[in-house]
């Protein structure tokens, strides 16, 4: 069973991440911020990009010195996303990918949320995820289709072996 933190839906809050033995605070972000980031780039842009400038510089220095690995940044990004979404990072990403998979689906999903008064600029990501999941699942009449959708959502991604050096180089080149 997928774990959920119901309190994540109650308000936008800061998230903490530890890298290189130091805890960093990332100020809370709205659902709109998360959706924009994750539909235009990937999780690697969150850490260190959403930390304050001094913390971002410290982490980039640690990365450049080899004191932390690119995979640690990615894991930290996943942790932050899980915290903000109130459920595993991959669950939130699947739902976001589903909602944004085509213009008709996004228009239907977002249109219903807007008509219900949901403002992505003022709610936490977890509340947006709750709303999108609810509005989708309530329209699946076939019990088998509902179970299939739920099972797909609950299935964690397969473990991929990353080439850490290649990922690190791609990340650093993205910074300029």
Name the band, by pLDDT with cuts 50, 70 and 90, for residue 11: very high
Report whether 127 contacts 33 (CB < 8 A).
no
pLDDT digits (tens, 9 = 90+) for 90-101: 999 998 888 888
Predicted pLDDT at 171: 44
Residue found under tokens 């109130």 = 86
Contacting residues for 66 by C-beta, under 8 A, at least 6 apart: none
Handedness of CA 45, 51, 54, 60 (dihedral sign): negative
Check pLDDT > 80 for residue 164: no
Contacting residues for 8 by C-beta, under 8 A, at least 6 apart: 83, 84, 85, 86, 87, 124, 125, 126
Name the band, by pLDDT with cuts 50, 70 and 90, for residue 42: confident
Peptide bond into 48 cis (omega under 30): yes
Tell me the whole-structure pTM to 2 decimals.
Answer: 0.83
Mean pLDDT of 132-146: 90
- Cα gap 135→131, rounded to integer Å: 6
């Amino acid at each position: 069973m997928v774990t959920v933190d119901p309190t994540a839906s109650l308000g936008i809050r800061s998230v903490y991440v530890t890298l290189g033995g130091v805890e960093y605070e990332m100020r809370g972000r709205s659902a709109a911020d998360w959706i924009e980031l994750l539909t235009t780039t990937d999780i690697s842009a969150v850490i260190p990009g959403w930390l304050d400038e001094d913390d971002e510089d410290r982490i980039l220095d640690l990365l450049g010195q080899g004191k932390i690995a690119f995979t640690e940044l990615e894991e930290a990004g996943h942790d932050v996303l899980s915290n903000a979404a109130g459920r595993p990072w991959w669950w939130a990403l699947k739902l976001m990918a589903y909602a944004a998979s085509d213009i008709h689906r996004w228009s239907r999903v977002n249109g219903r949320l807007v008509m219900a008064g949901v403002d992505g600029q003022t709610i936490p990501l977890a509340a947006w995820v709750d709303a999108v999941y609810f509005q989708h699942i309530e329209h699946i009449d076939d019990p088998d289709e509902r179970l299939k959708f739920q099972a797909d959502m609950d299935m964690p991604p397969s473990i991929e072996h990353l080439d850490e050096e290649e990922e690190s180089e791609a990340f650093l080149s993205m910074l300029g």
